[in-house]
Amino acid sequence: MTNTLLGGLSAEEFLAEYWQKKPLLVRQAIPGFTGVVTKEELFQLARDPDVESRYVTHDGHTWEVIHGPQKAADLRRKKHPWTVLVSGLNLFCPDGDALLHRFDFIPQARLDDLMVSYAVDNGGVGPHFDNYDVFLLQGIGQRRWLISDQDDRSLVEDAPLKILQDFQPVYDWVLEPGDMLYLPPHWAHNGIAIGECTTYSIGFRSPTSQELAQQFLVHLQDTLQLDGIYADPDLVRQDHSAQISDTMIDRVAETLRRITWDRDDVRSFLGAYLTEPKPHVFFDCPDDPLEHDEFVAACATGYRLDARSLLLFSDEQFFLNGEPVPVESEDRDLLQHLADERHIDSIKGLSEEGIALLYDWYCSGFAHPSKNLIE
């Protein structure tokens, strides 16, 4: 990470002074940056049924949202201001994946995806707020950003987007190519295109407490084992046969009190939950996979995780794409490096079990030998 990305701040200074506290405007965060895809490439992705996209237009009074795949005719409209947004650009564009991981000073467990929006003059998605942190990096053209820390988050009724009813901006900034704006959660903002422009949004995962609780309970359901069956040898006849007795309630409550968890259970849950691919993500196995020895030779120049893969670790446990993976103790340092950097220069030093593990990932489409990618 260069100093320009955070305006001369170190990652430690940024986290201490700005992260989830206040906005940061950085002029020329990436000097000379104009994007990682052309307009034509972006429109092609927007028309792809495997890509998440939204088309948003407004006439000054009403808003319209069309979920992808988009129609070519809509991407040529001129009557009203419009914008098209493509999510998960990092999954389809190697340069987009590289851009996303320039922000690895935030833990990958929190990193979500790279979204790009293209807008014609005056296009945008209206004044709104997000529940997550976001970096907004300007590609081509200019975009005017109006920013507010208002407490009033009332929304326009019946709108297809979460548009703020009474937006009161306190900052007014125009971003040029390479400029970047960081916004903490709940800071209201409205981006308005000045002519044709693109903006790249680096977003972060912020699950609600409700979602975490629900998903943890699902995890417990899959892993919990309680011995015994319901029994009532002291059963007595009730006045009402349809009544659920206090004795039964107490007995079941005592059973449920046996449901407990510890940090290791939470670790296992988070490892699976945080690396679980999104529903629309699928992996492509190689059509003609290399034999084991050919694979080892192809890894002479390195080994790289697929853009769709997420490898995380905690202490001695590793998790890949929603599943725990066994790693030999002598392989942990190299696998930690693979998780951090998403590639390794060589597989030398790995145990036979470690090489077999990486070969299995390759055969599943989770990772690739660097030589194989080049060819």
Domain spans of the chain?
3-204, 209-262, 292-374
Output the average pLDDT for the chain.
94
Joined tokens for residue 344: 């390794």
List, for residues 47-69, the tens digit of each pLDDT value. Answer: 999 999 999 999 888 999 999 99
The yes-or-no verdict on residue 94 having pLDDT over 50 is yes
The yes-or-no verdict on residue 2 having pLDDT over 50 is no
Q: How confident is the model at residue 15 (pLDDT cuts 50, 70, 90)?
A: very high
Whole-number pLDDT of residue 373 = 46
> pTM value?
0.91
Measured in whole angstroms, the distance separating CA 154 from the mean position of its chain's CA atoms is 27
For residues 22-47, average pLDDT: 97
Whole-number pLDDT of residue 77 = 78
- Out of 2.40.100.20, 2.60.120.650, 3.40.640.10, 3.90.870.10, select the CATH number for domain 3-204: 2.60.120.650
Whole-number pLDDT of residue 79 = 80
Whole-number pLDDT of residue 1 = 43
List, for residues 335-346, the tens digit of each pLDDT value. Answer: 999 999 999 999
CB within 8 A of 352, min separation 6: which ones?
A: none
Q: Does 292-374 match 3-204 at the fold level?
A: no
- Measured CA to CA in angstroms, residue 264 lies from 225, 259, 269, 315, 316 at distances of 16, 15, 9, 10, 11
Whole-number pLDDT of residue 134 = 97
For residues 213-235, average pLDDT: 94
Reference 316, options 305, 327, 307, 308; nearest CA is 327
The class (CATH top level) of 292-374 is alpha beta
The yes-or-no verdict on residue 152 having pLDDT over 70 is yes
Joined tokens for residue 18: 């700005």
Reference 191, options 121, 123, 116; nearest CA is 123
Whole-number pLDDT of residue 137 = 98
Whole-number pLDDT of residue 374 = 40
C-alpha span between 117 and 115 (Å, rounded): 7
The angle at the Cα of 67, spanning 195 to 102, to the nearest 5 degrees, equals 65
Cβ atoms of 203 and 134 closer than 8 Å: yes
**154-176 CB burial, b ≥16 within 10 A, e <16:** eebeebebebbeebeeeeeeebe
pLDDT over 70, % of the chain? 98
Whole-number pLDDT of residue 59 = 87
Joined tokens for residue 129: 């707020």
Q: How confident is the model at residue 247 (pLDDT cuts 50, 70, 90)?
A: very high
C-alpha span between 285 and 128 (Å, rounded): 40
The yes-or-no verdict on residue 334 having pLDDT over 60 is yes
Cα dihedral across residues 153, 158, 162, 164: positive or negative = negative
- Measured CA to CA in angstroms, residue 288 lies from 42, 282, 297, 304, 365 at distances of 30, 18, 16, 18, 12
> Which of 71-85, 103-117, 119-133, 308-322 has the lowest average pLDDT?
71-85
List, for residues 168-183, the tens digit of each pLDDT value. Answer: 999 999 999 999 999 9
Whole-number pLDDT of residue 370 = 86
List, for residues 346-368, the tens digit of each pLDDT value. Answer: 999 999 999 999 999 999 999 99
C-alpha span between 116 and 137 (Å, rounded): 9
C-alpha span between 145 and 174 (Å, rounded): 6
C-alpha span between 136 and 251 (Å, rounded): 55
